[in-house]
Structure 1
Amino acid sequence: MAEHITIGDVAPRVQYVADGVLAEFAYPFPIFEEADLEIRLDGTVLTGGATISGAGASEGGSVLLAAPPPTGTRVTLRRRLKIARATDFQNNGVLRARALNDELDYQVAAIQQVADDVIGTVRVGPADGGALVLPQRGARANRVLGFDSNGDVTVFDRGTATLGVPFVGGIPRTVEDKLAERLTARDFGATGDGVTDDGPALAAAMAAAAASGRVLEIGEGSFRTTQPLLLGGGAAGLVMHGSILYAGLGGQAALTLGDGAAVRNAAKRYEGLRVVRATISDWEDEADIGLVMRNLDASFVEIRQVEGFTIGVRTLGVERGFEDSTLVLGRIVNNRIGLDVRTETAAAWNTSVRYYGGHFAIGSTVHTDKDRFGVRLSAAPGAYVAHNRHLFDGPGFELQAKDRPISGIPFLVEVSSRSVWARALRMEGCSPHVARHTGAAQDHVYEVAWASQAYLVDVDYTSTATRVGAVVRASHQAAAFREASREVAAVPNLRAARIRWSNTEWGFEKLACLASNVSGAPVTLADYAFPALDAFGFTDNGVVLTGGRGLGFVVDARNCREFALAVDADAPRLAVMCFDAYRNVLTDTGAPLVRASGQSLVWNASARWWQGSADMADATLTRPQVVRLAPQVAYAIIGLVRVADNYEVRAMRLGCDPLFAPSLLYGQPGLPHGARELVAEAAWNPPAIAAGGSAQTSLPLPGARAGDFASAAFSLGTSGLVFLAQVASTDLVTVTAWNRSGAEIDLGAGTVRARVVKA
């Protein structure tokens, strides 16, 4: 040292918080040499990589680091001296002031160092005095350290009931019981640093929670595991503040909650669940699952994040039900199937569950050639398939399938579910289908609050689907319009609507008469839609369908796919005939051309119609029927037929989605059915008619029969002439012009018109 330093009243330690820019930091206390300065970055002692200046200066100096520490790093500079005397004064030697000052300075600096260390220790306050002395090692081993009634240090047995809350009514509990009130993963050695394999520690913690009936807490951090984890149903619940990072083998569930078999896992509470796969699955193995929950009943589950698996979350009934629970969903990302609602056995069920929220999303570069689905309702082979009463509230789907030859559909329904409702859902970049049904699901309601596909959002019924009847409510500023219902046709009283076509044949207003065995070689719609047939019976209230007879509405189905048929009848049987764009009849080719909502349809080859497999009955919930037609069906006859027993029909109505206004076909050229009034016209230049004389002409009028009411008119002024009409013979009307005046009348060329009204 060039000159002796002065040790002032300055603490031998200083701290800074790095800003990521500065690399030089000052220390305001003196050091004797560079080795006396300790440099710590966030608690780690820095060895090398720093230039120290100012050693031996009373005012201190500075440290220049090789690189600026990252932002937020705590930089600690402190003086650390060896507590030792390195010099000695010789007997009868010269006592130099410099040497003495240096020794005293070193002693003062060492005392300051000790004082700084003492500041961070637990010590008796100045007013207490005395000393706190630890009991002997043997006395304190495996015991709890505490204070006695005098405030002195003592030890207690771990089972001693001496701890309690400072409130009235508080009951003292053992320390061990208090400490074990909630188990944490870190109690078993889990680190949560995202690098260490915490799998064994997490498994041990979960086993302890299940055995003790406690809630397990997984704290902040990323807990990496290479083994699948199971929290048995004995645990009261799970609270996660951090996440599980699964880095194990594929083909297994990363985290399973609850017991399988026939065990009922009731009243559980799982909060903050986060399970992330270290690398995204190849989406090939459906056993690769992020989170499985088994047999939950009356439980609450909050899922914050599940990412990167073939199946993100699976709710599973295993020889018992998954039911009456509430799930709050967060980010369900980059899974081929986000949520799988499933049953495993014939004795299991999955029903009555509420789902709130959920962001089901796929990254734009993730498996761009593979189908993906937000929610799937499924069952293992032979398992129970009636997944009923599920409510999804406000889910969002961002599936990255638009303009790609893949399916990205929010709901995939493979079971015979009923009453599954999805409210206010959002579709972004999805296929133009809100759901795909592959089985006998019905009575689903999909309410689309917003979709990038705009209005034309539909349900995709595959070739294996045996039921229809799902409702899609797409808003897009048309909500009020779509909540209305459109009636295509109505015959409120079939008895009053009957038309006497001939002495033996009857027809009905707006309806075509159907026969189960049409003679000849029928091909077109006109060959099957008869205006009238015999063998109908009548009561005071309606018409009785007897063997081989039926009634139906003929509709233009080129734009509208679904129709709803409602009837008032005893035990009616649904029937649908299908025709192509050229009105040629379509027959069964393997893939069904028509499906119904409440029952299966079977092909009747001789009649060439699809007929219901059961009667439309209130008791079996098949009375109202929605009929969905395949895209190749352009025209259809939708109605009722007699299959087994005669039955009475009193009223029939046909409706559809108000977005469409399909045409009801009847009473037109080539399709005369359903019309009570028939008309015909022709050009006629009657001759001059003498006073009191008459002239006649005949008009072909298909459907005209003897006994029909007939009338006629002429297109020119007919003062003095009376036009009369009568059915001369089948399909022919005779018009007579009678001159009742006293002079000859020559009308000239015009158009004669005849009308027949059937009784």
Structure 2
Amino acid sequence: MAEHITIGDVAPRVQYVADGVLAAFTYPFPIFDAADLEIRIDGAVLAGGATVTGAGASEGGSVVFDAPPQAGAKVTLRRRLAIARTTDFQNNGVLRARALNDELDYQVAALQQVADDVGSAMRLDPTDAGGLVLPLRGARANRVLGFDSTGDVTVFDRGTGLLGVPYPGGVPRSVEDKLAERLTARDFGATGDGVTDDGPALAAAMAAAAASGKTLEIGEGTFRTTQPLVLGGGAAGLVMRGTILYAGPDGQAALTLGDGAAARNAAKRYEGLRVLRASISDWMNEADIGLVMRNLDASFVEIRQVEGFTIGIRTQGVERGFEDTTINLGRIVNNKIGLDVRTETAGAWNTSVRYYGGHFALGSSVHTDKDRYGVRLSAAPGAYVAHNRHLFDGPGFELQARDRPITGIPFLIEVNSRSVWARAVRMEGCSPHVARHTAGAQDHVYEVAWASQGYLVDIDYPASATRTGSVVRATHQSAAFREATREIGAVPNLRAARIRWSNTEWGFEKLACLSSNVSGSIATLADFAFPALASYAFTDSGVLLTGGRGLGFVVDARGCREFALAVDADAPRLVVMCFDASRNLLTDSGTPRARASGQSLTWNPTAYWYQSAADMADATLTRPQVVRLAPEVAYAIIGVARIGSDYELRSMRLACDPLFAPTLIYGQPNLPHGTRELVAEAAWDPPSIAAGGTAAVNVTIPGARPGDFASAAFSLATSGLVFMAQVGATDVVTVTAWNKTAVAVDLAAGTVRARVVKT
């Protein structure tokens, strides 16, 4: 050492948390030699890999690592001296101040080291006299160390109940008893790594929970299982923080909660349930179920996610009821039926259940050819069918069915349920029905807060339905007038709604083109509701209708008698055409089949319609003209026309009593009016297509005209092939398959689908 160092009042230890970038760390205390500095990383002593500088300096020095420690690592630098006398003063020798100072410095440094070690040890309070002595090794072996009533160290048997508790009045317990309060899946060997088959461990844990009456906890992680799992009704509940990934056999329920038969599973609590299928079910087997809950009563269930099954969740009454339970729903995705509310026997019931939330959704590419439903109320053959008082609060449905030849309906009701309420329903990409009732359900209330199909929301009653008595309250785009009228159809801008049907003919979105002089064989609705006609001219604001031309809404009037028409036009005339349930024309029978609120309607035998006797000069968008139809009228065209002069029509709106939601008809296969898109499909077995070659097939689409946009697709995998489409002739779309690969491709027989979009 070049100079005498000074041992100041500096602790001989310093710690840092590495950031993964810094390689140099300082120590503020002096050392005599580089070997006196101990370097630890996360508790491990480092041997090599670092350079120490500053030995012999009073202010300390630094440590430079060969590579920066990993981010988050704890770096500890401390002085470690041998507690030994390494020097000696000679008798009658010269006692030099430097040697004496060095010896004293070493002793002070050693004392600082001892003080640092003692400071981190457990010790008695200065006011607590005496000392604590451990029992001998033989006496303390396999026993628990503790303190007796005087505070002295003693030992206890491992199973003793004499250990103290931290709270006044607490009952002393053993550690084993404390740890056994709640079972966890990892107690039975479950790993949650997403790869190991945790099925046997989960099954053992669930059996233990059911036998002991305790709550089972499945912690964080993904617990893969190749076997179905059952948590019996004896368990108090289930808490999941991780995920069950089902990779087991088809036709099984991945997770079943509660006992079946006549067991009553009351006051259960299931939290954080998340069950996923390793691969999406083919939706063909309704026994592929993600989560089954049996006979719950006065219980609480929280479901985070169920995905990939034919039926995502089933609440099941089996020889007893499922009732008075609260269910919080999360993501219910990629299931054919998201939630199935079901009974299995005649003595079972499913009633008085509250459901909160629920995102019922499907991926855009999931089983695009299969129907799907959000919630189904069902019963096994012969089972109880009166599912009553179910409340759904704020469910959302994204069923990816709109504009596809499939059904995607939020509620499928197959039982005679009563008082099922759905509030603030969201419908995105669904069919135009919020529910389908196939049996005797009634007194259902569906409040649709948002629907991508707007006000065209209804309940579908197929031929098997025996009751109606339910209501849809659609507020999307209709909240301002719902208490007065329900909007059925609206064209706010006739010019923007025009559709070029051919070089000379024009149609309009949602509307049928009308003529006062229809020739040929005329008998049905399709003979009068033209998709397009000539002799329409356009202004900056709308369409100029020439004499004899008209436009009208086509409506299903089987459930609704009164309609209100409002127009923005230059003094048009109201016209009404009537048809029976088979869509055959109804002529005047002497008793008017149509009446108006503000004026008389007269029969025009040439045009086959009732028309107003006076202009609608006083009709505005806020004062519609009301039309009442006779009971025998099942379908009607309600619109405007002008016989003797031209006039400008700018907008139209049709409404009805809010108790009804009749269907506005357009774009149907036999009634193509009012739509820009026309679709068709045909069976096709393409020939073998040589590399770079093509094959073509014609698909008939009535209404297709040269100049329309056309596209096509094939029902089978077509890797390497490009399908192109064009309207080659009137009503004909030519679909061409072009082989872009370097080898011949021979597709199997399938279905070619073509679509035409008009501008």
TM-score (norm 1): 0.55
Give the corresponding residue for 1:26.
25
Does 1:430 find its partner at 2:430? yes
Q: Counterpart of 2:556?
A: 559
**Correspondence 1:248 to 2:247:** yes
AA partner of residue 160 (structure 1): G
Distance 1:245 1:215, change over 3 A: closer
d(CA) in 2 for partners of 1:282, 1:86:
79
Q: Which residue in the other structure is 1:390 paired with?
A: 390
Q: Is the 8 A contact 1:206 1:230 kept in 2?
A: yes
Matched to 2:418, the amino acid is R
| Contact 1:439 1:464 (C-alpha < 8 Å) held by counterparts | yes
- Name the amino acid aligned to 2:225: T
Secondary structure at the aligned position of 1:207 is classed as: helix
Residue 257 of structure 1: CA displacement?
Answer: 1.7
3-state DSSP of counterpart to 2:73: strand
Deviation per residue, 1:662-716 (Å, 9 max, x gap): 9xxxxxxxxxxxxxxxxxxxxxxxxxxxxxxxxxxxxxxxxxxxxxxxxxxxxxx
Summarize the Cα distance change of 1:119–1:265 in structure 2 as closer, same or farther, 3 Å threshold.
farther
Aligned in 2, Cα 1:441/1:36: closer, same or farther, shift over 3 Å?
same
Change (3 A) 1:56 1:301: same
Report the alpha carbon displacement of residue 324 of structure 1 after superposing the two structures with TM. 1.6
The 3 A distance-change label for structure 1 pair 421 and 36 is same
Deviations 1:492-542 (A, max 9, x none): xxxxxxxxxxxxxxxxxxxxxxxxxxxxxxx999xxxxxxxxxxxxxxxxx
How many percent identity over aligned positions? 66
Partner-residue secondary structure (3-state), 2:328 = strand
Cα 1:207–1:656, aligned 2, differ >3 Å: closer, same or farther? same
1:354-391 residue CA offsets vs partner (Å, 9 max, x unmatched): 11222223344555554433222233444433322211
Q: Is 1:582–2:580 an aligned residue pair?
A: no
Within 2, Cα distance between the matches of 1:64 and 1:306? 51
Distance 1:106 1:369 in 2: 86
Alignment partner, residue 551 of structure 1? none
1:408 is displaced (CA, Å) by: 3.0
Question: What residue identity is the alignment partner of 2:297?
Answer: D
1:306–1:331 Cα contact (<8 Å) kept: yes
Matches within 5 A, 1:80-479: 122-128=122-128, 130-135=130-135, 144-157=144-157, 158-160=159-161, 163=164, 166-167=167-168, 177-185=177-185, 187-188=187-188, 199-219=199-219, 221-227=220-226, 228-240=228-240, 242-246=241-245, 248-251=247-250, 252-277=252-277, 281=281, 283=283, 285-364=285-364, 366-462=366-462, 464-476=464-476, 478-479=478-479
Equivalent residues of 1:23, 1:65 under 8 A apart: no
How far is 1:456 from its partner?
Answer: 0.5
Q: What's the offset of the Cα at 1:414?
A: 3.0
Structure 1: where are the runs of 5+ without partners? 487-522, 526-555, 565-576, 586-631, 636-654, 663-759
Q: CA deviation at 1:303?
A: 2.3
Partner Cα distance (1:46, 1:194) in 2:
36
Deviation at 1:403, TM superposition (A): 3.5
The aligned counterpart of 2:670 is none
Structural mapping, 1:712-731, within 5 Å? none
The one-character-per-residue Cα deviations of 1:145-198 (angstroms, maximum 9, x if unpaired) are 432112223344535266557456x65566654443444445555566667665
CA distance in 2, matches of 1:342, 1:267: 20
- Mapped to 2, the partners of 1:115 and 1:195 lie a distance apart of 51
Asked if the contact 2:471/2:659 (under 8 Å) is kept, the reply is no
Question: Contact (CA 8 Å) 2:305, 2:330: kept in 1 or not?
Answer: yes
Question: Equivalents in 1 of 2:264, 2:44: separation in Å?
Answer: 51
Match of 2:510 in 1: none
Give me the TM-score of the superposition, normalised by structure 2: 0.55
Q: Distance in 1 between matches of 2:314 and 2:102?
A: 75
Structure 1's 176 and 102: CA in aligned 2 closer, same or farther, altered over 3 A?
Answer: same
Q: For 1:193 and 1:408, how far apart are their aligned partners in 2?
A: 36
Counterpart residue type for residue 27 of structure 2 = P
Contact 2:559–2:660 under 8 Å retained in 1: no
Secondary structure of the corresponding residue to residue 556 of structure 2: coil
Asked whether the equivalents of residues 484 and 658 of structure 1 are also in contact (C-alpha less than 8 Å), the reply is no
SS across alignment from 1:322: strand
CA distance in 1, matches of 2:262, 2:456: 44
Report the counterpart of residue 565 of structure 2 in structure 1: none
> What's the secondary structure of 1:327's corresponding residue?
strand
Q: Taking structure 1 as reference, are residues 91 and 225 closer, same or farther at Cα in structure 2, changes over 3 Å only?
A: farther
Q: Is the 8 A contact 1:330 1:359 kept in 2?
A: yes
Q: 1:76 to 1:387 in 2, by over 3 A?
A: same
- The answer to whether the 8 A contact 1:5-1:56 is kept is no
Where 1:230 maps in the other structure, the secondary structure is strand
Q: Is the 8 A contact 2:36 2:80 kept in 1?
A: no
Q: Distance in 2 between matches of 1:51 and 1:425?
A: 66
The structure with more radius of gyration: 1
Change (3 A) 1:658 1:183: closer
Q: Secondary structure at the match of 1:208?
A: helix
Give unpaired runs (5+ residues) of structure 2: 487-522, 526-552, 562-578, 588-632, 637-655, 664-759
Letter in 1 for 2:471: V
Structure 2 counterpart SS, 1:209: helix
Q: For residue 741 of structure 1, what is the aligned residue in structure 2?
A: none
Q: Contact 2:341–2:377 (CA<8 Å) still a contact in 1? A: yes
C-alpha distance in 1, partners of 2:67/2:404? 53
Q: Give the structure 1 partner of residue 15 of structure 2.
A: 14
1:244 partner letter? T
What SS does the corresponding residue of 2:385 show, helix, strand or coil? Answer: coil
Q: Distance in 2 between matches of 1:406 and 1:44?
A: 65
SS at structure 2 position matched to 1:150: coil
Could you say if the C-alpha distance between residues 439 and 660 of structure 1 is closer, same or farther in structure 2, counting changes exceeding 3 Å? closer
1:264 offset after TM fit, Å?
A: 0.9
Counterpart Cα distance in 2 of 1:214 and 1:25: 54
Cα separation, 1, equivalents of 2:478 and 2:524: 38
Q: More deviation in 76-85 or 471-480? A: 76-85
Distance 1:124 1:557, change over 3 A: same
RMSD, aligned α-carbons: 4.9
Q: Cα distance, 1:422 vs. partner? A: 0.8
Judge conservation of contact 1:243–1:276 (CA < 8 Å) in 2. Answer: no
Contact 1:562 1:656 in 2 (8 A): no
What is the alpha-carbon distance in structure 2 between the residues aligned to residue 121 and residue 198 of structure 1?
43
Q: Tell me, what secondary structure is at the counterpart of 1:238?
A: strand
The whole-number CA distance in structure 2 between the counterparts of 1:284 and 1:106 is 84
String of CA shifts for 1:252-276, please: whole Å, max 9, x gaps: 4343221122211111122333334
- Cα distance in 2 for partners of 1:421, 1:314 equals 19
**CA distance in 2 between partners of 1:57 and 1:365 (Å):** 73
Distance in 2 between the 1:118 and 1:200 partners? 50
3-state DSSP of counterpart to 2:430:
coil
Distance 1:109 1:254 in 2: 67
Describe the shift of the 1:80–1:68 C-alpha distance in structure 2 as closer, same or farther (beyond 3 A): closer
Written as runs of structure 1 = structure 2, the 5 A alignment for 1:565-604 is 579-583=581-585
Per the alignment, in what secondary structure is the counterpart of residue 386 of structure 1?
A: coil
Counterpart Cα distance in 1 of 2:209 and 2:300: 18
Contact 1:349 1:384 in 2 (8 A): yes
Contact 2:50–2:64 (CA under 8 A) maintained in structure 1: yes
Cα distance between partner residues in 2 of 1:561 and 1:68: 79
Question: How far, CA to CA, are the matches of 1:390 and 1:107 in structure 2?
Answer: 83
Q: Which amino acid is 1:581 matched to?
A: R
Residues in 2 aligned to 1:136 and 1:178: alpha-carbon distance in whole angstroms:
28
Compute the displacement of 1:578 (Å). Answer: 6.1
Aligned mates of 2:81, 2:474 — CA distance in 1: 81
Q: Is the 8 A contact 2:39 2:45 kept in 1?
A: no
